[in-house]
Amino acid sequence: MSLPTTLESLPVELIATILSNLDLESLVKVSNLSRRLRHVASDSTLNPWRRPIAQNLASGHYERSFYHFSFRSIVPASNWIDILTLAPPGFILFESSLPNLKASEWEECFRKRFIPGWLKWKKDNTWRVSYIKTLYRVWHRTHSPCTTDEAWTKYIVLNRNGSVNELESSSRGFSPMAIFAQTHNLSHLSPTIRVVATFSDVRVIAIGVLHIPQSPLLVNRNAHALLHPPGIEIDALGANSKRNGRALHDSTYGDECDGPSAGPRPYNKLTHPLPAESHRNYPLYTPGGGDRRWGSPEKEGKQWVGGLMVIVQLIRPRPIVGYEQDESEFVGGWNQFASFTWHDLLTIAPWMKERVTKIIDGPGLGI
């Protein structure tokens, strides 16, 4: 005769799976019903909190208990790294209660949320103070036209001769389209905008010209390599069309572009900083509508010609579910742009290091 099965008689892994399907309010209540349930809820390996927390972050509509999660000692600290990486600045700064984390955990939050160029704001501060101050700068810049903390905005230009210029312009009145029109001798052609990758607070944007070139000398192969990492292709369904459908992150691919980077290479998902849901697989393709690096003009035989301008735009938080980016949104109001340096480019596109022939600090031809 078999004994009746109760929730607490199940294996801890199965209990954790059941608990992870609860909403946060219910999970808080259930975790206090017994010592065993509390032990399962507080185990950082089982971590049944991860799924309901992710659902709150994705929807943008937070449950009441989510605002003061730091008071729950049974919630593993690793969950706070996710919250501090993905939650909107206003929620973290003004609505939630911040947790008591180790210095190494605050550093992890900083590096997963912000692009590496923003380490300049750390100075002699602790990682906790640096994270909060940098997050406040993001919130302030996205809610006002103030540019006091960054009078000059840096940006990158990939030249067709293989060199890279790191340039800067006044942050007050910074207009990427005006700068692009003034510095590129392609004013008779319409520029094309591509979102390279989106993160919690910024998105990296490339501005260039897609055109059927009259000469191969006009083609910017590094522009193509930045937006289409060599060896990665997608088909109409957004699946891998190489290596008989093997998963991209498990494979090594040959580089189909000419240049010094030819040969097999692995691609790993970017984690520091952590891409937003729309580019969660970056630099691999993310299906679902947000990742539009592979655009239709390329399929029509057009290629990137002339220089490619790469900038960073500060963005306001949006719910992840049901939102598709629109490249044209970057021309929105205020001076919502931040500096983007060569080091930042190498962080999000490390394969570009072996393709660039010369790095130029300031204007110049790089010959």
- Weakest-pLDDT range from 214-228, 256-270, 272-286, 296-310: 256-270
- The answer to whether residue 99 is domain-embedded is yes
Whether residues 221 and 324 share a domain: the answer is: yes
Whether residues 190 and 234 share a domain: the answer is: yes
Whether residues 252 and 332 share a domain: the answer is: yes
- Weakest-pLDDT range from 221-230, 244-253, 308-317: 244-253
Going by the DSSP 8-state scheme, the letter that residue 5 receives in this structure is P
- The answer to whether residue 366 is domain-embedded is no
pTM: predicted TM-score of the whole model, two decimal places: 0.84
Residue 297 has a pLDDT of 65
Q: What is the pLDDT of residues 315-360, one digit of tens each?
A: 876 644 444 445 555 544 456 899 999 999 999 999 999 899 888 8
Pick from 102, 123, 143: which residue ends a domain? 143
- Weakest-pLDDT range from 77-86, 123-132, 141-150: 141-150
Peptide bond into 273 cis (omega under 30): yes
- The answer to whether residue 168 is domain-embedded is yes
Domain count, the chain: 3
Residues 6 or more apart whose Cβ sits within 8 Å of residue 2: none
Q: What is the pLDDT of residues 105-136, one digit of tens each?
A: 999 999 999 999 999 989 889 999 999 999 99
Query: pLDDT exceeding 70 applies to what percent of the chain?
Result: 82
Residue 265 has a pLDDT of 56
Peptide bond into 275 cis (omega under 30): no
DSSP string, 202-262: EEEEEEEEEE--SSGGGB-HHHHHHHS-TT--B-TTSSB-SGGG--GGG-EEE--S-STT-
Which residue did the predictor score with more confidence, 296 or 336?
336
Whether residues 129 and 172 share a domain: the answer is: no
Query: Given a cut of 90, is residue 10 above it in pLDDT?
Result: no
Whether residues 305 and 175 share a domain: the answer is: yes
| C-alpha–C-alpha distance, residues 292 and 329, integer Å | 14
Compute how many other C-beta atoms are within 10 angstroms of the C-beta atom of residue 276.
24
Whether residues 57 and 99 share a domain: the answer is: no
- The answer to whether residue 199 is domain-embedded is yes
Whether residues 111 and 181 share a domain: the answer is: no
Residue 123: give the domain boundaries: 83-143
Whether residues 280 and 165 share a domain: the answer is: yes
